Chain A
Amino acid sequence: MNDLIGQIFHSLALVLADIEAWLAPYLPGLNWVALLAFAFYVILILSGGLTAILARNLVRATLGLIITFLGVAGMYLLLASPFLALMQLLIYIGAVCVLIFFAIMLTKNTADGEEAQAPGPLNLIYAFLTVVAVLAVAGPTIVTGTKDIVVRLPVDTGSNLGEGLLSMDLLSFELISIILLVAMAGAVYLAWRPQGQLDAKNEKRESA
């Protein structure tokens, strides 16, 4: 039994070595473990993204979005940016997805909501044309423009990022804090209903 498992692993390693030898000229600087991880993350992104845009139930679409966020966090790990991967989990999955769940639940837009029916044929044609145009322009540009570029991957610690925030990107840092404050105040203002209006509405409802 142990021999059999050992043989299986041995042949698997041989196949992987073959694949690596075959891919090595095309992908300098990327070993097969990283390639396997990359393929896994691409599968996560594709399946999650397709669920996010195709699911007729918005809760399922948000779950697909979470899968996609996980895949992108893995991509950040592969790009030697562990701090960004952590922030991806914290901000996107922890904050943005919860906000989207709030939006879905507060509008009661779940299983048999307005999203239940399929999109119109005209919208599908528009989407197809747009995507074909974008892919036709950006795809060849990416493939030809990034030839002969070798990615260096120094692992950054959080302290490097902190120094960058307080030196070169100080203005952006301050601006985004102002933007967050304004967005929060604006959201509160938009959803705010003054006390007088509430009373008037209640009186109208009671008298009716």
Chain B
Amino acid sequence: MTPLTLFLLASLILLALGLVGLITRRTLVGMLISVELMLNGAGLSIVAAAKTSSLTGLLDIHGQLAALFVMGLAAAEATLVLAMVLLVQKRFGRVTTETVTSLKGAGGSNYADN
């Protein structure tokens, strides 16, 4: 067991927590929180793995830059999800995941045109 193992296991914990949250949360905002957990795990594992050039063949710098890009993508994604949550709230009145099932057809739709 090396230090790299410990860091990768920590990022695996983040991934598992995010998966549980993503499946069990009822609202879109809760799912957004879980996705942020998983993105953090991804960034941590990228940085830790890039510290060992024998494993990835990359320089340390590029691992850190990749984690920075993950952070930028997370910020962009959070912005878009905020806009989508606002739209869903405006159109359906609720933001639970079961409300956004209009494509299911009969019975699944509770579309309220404001």
Contacts and interface: CB of A to CB of B under 8 A. Distances in A.
Interface string A60-90: 0110010011001001101111011001100
A65 B69 CA distance: 20
B1 A26 contact: yes
Given A103-B32, A149-B2, A160 B24 contact: no
A115 B12 contact: no
A4 B37 CA distance: 45
Contacts of B14: 45, 49, 68, 72
Interface residues of B, number: 73
Given A53-B37, A72-B44, A75-B44, A180 B68 contact: no
Which DSSP category, helix, strand, loop or mixed, fits chain A's interface? helix
B56 to A, nearest CB: 10
A190 interface: yes
A163 B33 CA distance: 33
B52 interface: yes
Interface in A91-132: 91-92, 95-96, 99-100, 102-104, 106-107, 109, 113-115, 117, 119, 123-124, 126-127, 130-131
Interface of A: 26-30, 38, 41-42, 45-46, 49-50, 52-53, 58, 61-62, 65, 68-69, 72, 75-76, 78-81, 83-84, 87-88, 91-92, 95-96, 99-100, 102-104, 106-107, 109, 113-115, 117, 119, 123-124, 126-127, 130-131, 134-135, 138-139, 142-143, 146-154, 156, 160-161, 163-165, 168-169, 172, 176, 179-180, 183-184, 186-188, 190-191, 201
